[in-house]
Amino acid sequence: MRIDPSQYPSYFQRYIELVEGIDLHSLLPQSFDELKVALLQIPVSKADYAYASGKWTVKQVLQHCIDTERIFAYRALCISRDEQQHLPGFDQDYYIQHANLQNKSLEFLKEEMLIARQSTLMLFQHFTDTELSKKGIASEHPITVLALGYIIAAHWMHHQRELTEKYGIIFTRS
């Protein structure tokens, strides 16, 4: 299925551009493999590193990616099941502020991220074209299940790029 701008809010365009033209059923498994390779390359020495005062640490970035993965997958599930309620937004900074990361190691967060992505893969694996095309309201904007799948994959890509550009973590492909 093709995705077009009517299927998601415009502020997600920067994510969609990262994955445009790739079939979702190929993209998600590919993104899992790439995520696994990337996470292995994040050094423990960078766990509590933030590139500037007031910016997130690497651990906070990973927790944000986990939170977002779960929230967007939940939205996809709800919309695919014809949920009529508007799904709430979330304040990413508030969530990170209230995440208890003192007792989570970088290695634990890496594993949790992979498990969250695996769960997303399993959720999307059997969505039909009809389910993928369903539209609901999340964060006060219309969005389709298909768009959520693309956004989930691209969200990590966006943060991986930031981890390179702002945190100095170099990722190589396997």
What are the pLDDT digits (tens) for 110-165?
999 999 999 999 999 999 999 999 999 999 999 999 999 999 999 999 999 999 99
Which tokens is 12 given?
């997600």
pLDDT for position 74: 98
CB 169 within 8 Å of CB 43: yes
Q: What are the pLDDT digits (tens) for 57-69?
A: 999 999 999 999 9
In sequence order, what are the residues at sequence separation of 6 or more whose Cβ sits closer than 8 angstroms to the Cβ of residue 125? Answer: 25
Return the axis-axis angle of helices 145-165 and 106-125, rounded to nearest 10°.
Answer: 150
Is 136 strand, coil or helix?
Answer: strand
pLDDT for position 51: 97
Give the span between the Cα atoms of 32 and 28, in whole angstroms. 6
Cα atoms in the Cβ-side hemisphere of radius 13 Å centred on 9? 10
Give the span between the Cα atoms of 133 and 111, in whole angstroms. 31
Rounded alpha-carbon distances, angstroms, from residue 53 to 49, 50, 62: 10, 7, 18
pLDDT for position 36: 96
Cα atoms in the Cβ-side hemisphere of radius 13 Å centred on 34? 15
174 pLDDT band, cuts 50/70/90, is low
Task: Provide the mean pLDDT of the chain.
Answer: 96
